[in-house]
Amino acid sequence: MQFKDIIGQEHTKSHLIQTVKDNRVSHAQLFLGPEGAGGLALAVAYAQYINCENKHANDSCGSCNSCNKYQKLIHPDLHFSYPFFAKGKDEVAVTYIEEWRKSFLANPYMGLDFWRKNLDAENKQANINIAEAHDIIKKLSLKAFEAEYKVLIMWLPEFLDVQGNALLKLIEEPPAKTLFLLVAENQDRILNTIISRTQLIKVAKLDHDAIKHYLCMEKMVLPQRANEIAFIADGNLQAALDLLEEDTNPYFELLLAWLRCIVTDAGLNIIRMCEEDFPKLGRENQKNFLLYAIHMLRQIILTQQGVQSLVLLQGQELDFVQKFSENFKSEQLEWTIDLLEKTHYKVERNANPKILFLDLSLQLVLIFKYQTFPQGTQYI
């Protein structure tokens, strides 16, 4: 993995490269950013650059012996630790190293669900167990085979739990030329004793245009569809890739038809959509539709506030947002977003979609048609 292969994150790339040039490579670093932002890819590219035998000004060479092994994830001084679904208490991460290599090389932006599917472990609990912590200590106590630095990349240390205490001394006082690169998504779930021993590298979520460009150029997606997917993904490339695998549903047309029924209080059409259209989407597409609706309403609010530079739409979607913003108040939109988020939460938990969407639709009729808000609040 080279820096040039990573989407966006130019500021973070420059910072990482500069630490190597200035000989200020911290022995323990925490790459913290949301799923699908590229934290794991950045950590691997950084490790490859550090051990590259012929470094270029802004990237590893990609062709030396070290780079060739790094790009296949088979370098003897590159170690990985990650959540896995142990069948026995003595299993460690290296048991699944072939699956790990295959998964990462197929998708460096992978999330936990993608990893779980590749292990065929749908309903099992992910964990980094005490046996894995002891195996890390054992591996890093050995001398480097051929590189200047031994590197351990730990993905999702949130799953380390109390077992992480076994690694504290090693993280604080590692053997010479040993690097710990931790890649996390949720700081609140990481042991404070580990956070205090690492240097923080913040990884921002990807911007809309970066994801759209990637989908158009790398996945050959049509611009309008790429724009829709990037809009729903909201900076998460893993979410964008998940959307690509699903049926291409016309979310905009469905949203438009649904809102027309709501603002006109077309009862029979609302019932038909809740009985037929929404259930046949399937759970994942129901969630995606709700996320799309939430993002569209937020774009309407931005338009009402006069922040046009932040509106990421074009064509029919932009026309819809501009017209809708002229006819409805921000309070109506805010209440609607709240209801959509609550419905999304319930869909995730497998609630009956017919009942959910009918209840949601009837509440939105009160908000948009009659300007009556939850708890009996009357909008004036």
Q: What is the CATH number of the domain that holds 13?
A: 3.40.50.300
Q: Is residue 219 part of a domain?
A: no
DSSP one-letter code for 276: I
Position 239 in a domain:
no
Residue segments in the chain with a per-residue pLDDT below the cut of 50: 376-380
Spatial contact of 12 and 210, defined as CB atoms under 8 Å apart: no
Query: Edge to edge, what strands does the sheet with 28-32 contain?
Result: 78-81, 150-155, 178-184, 28-32, 199-202
Task: Check whether residue 123 and residue 258 sit in a common domain.
Answer: no
One domain, residues 265 and 131 = no
Looking at residue 355, its pLDDT comes to 94
Last residue of a domain, one of 154, 180, 205: 205
* Domain coverage including residue 332: 246-376
What share of the chain has pLDDT > 70, as a percent? Answer: 95
Residue 228 lies in a domain: no
Q: Assign residue 258 the CATH number of its domain.
A: 1.20.272
Q: Are residues 154 and 272 in the same domain?
A: no
* Boundary residue ending a domain (205, 237, 258): 205
Long-range pairs for 280-283: beta carbons < 8 A, 24 or more residues apart: 281/249, 283/347, 283/350, 283/353
- Indicate if 194 and 60 belong to the same structural domain: yes
pLDDT in tens, 59-99: 999 999 999 999 999 999 999 999 988 777 788 999 999 99
Please indicate, yes or no, if residue 171 is contained in any of the structural domains.
yes
Which uninterrupted H or E stretch holds 312? Answer: none
Under 8 Å between Cβ of 50 and 25:
yes
Is 230 domain-assigned?
Answer: no
Decide if 226 is inside a domain: no
Report if residue 146 sits inside a domain.
yes
Residue 374 is predicted with a pLDDT of 62
In this structure, the answer to whether residues 195 and 273 fall within a common structural domain is no
Chosen domain end from 153, 179, 205: 205
Token pair of 275, please? 């009985």
Q: How many domains does the chain have?
A: 2
Residue 237 forms part of a structural domain: no
Q: Answer yes or no: do 259 and 312 share one domain.
A: yes
For residue range 140-190, list pLDDT tens digits in order: 988 889 999 999 999 999 988 777 788 888 888 888 899 999 999 999 888
User: Looking at residue 248, what is its pLDDT?
Assistant: 53
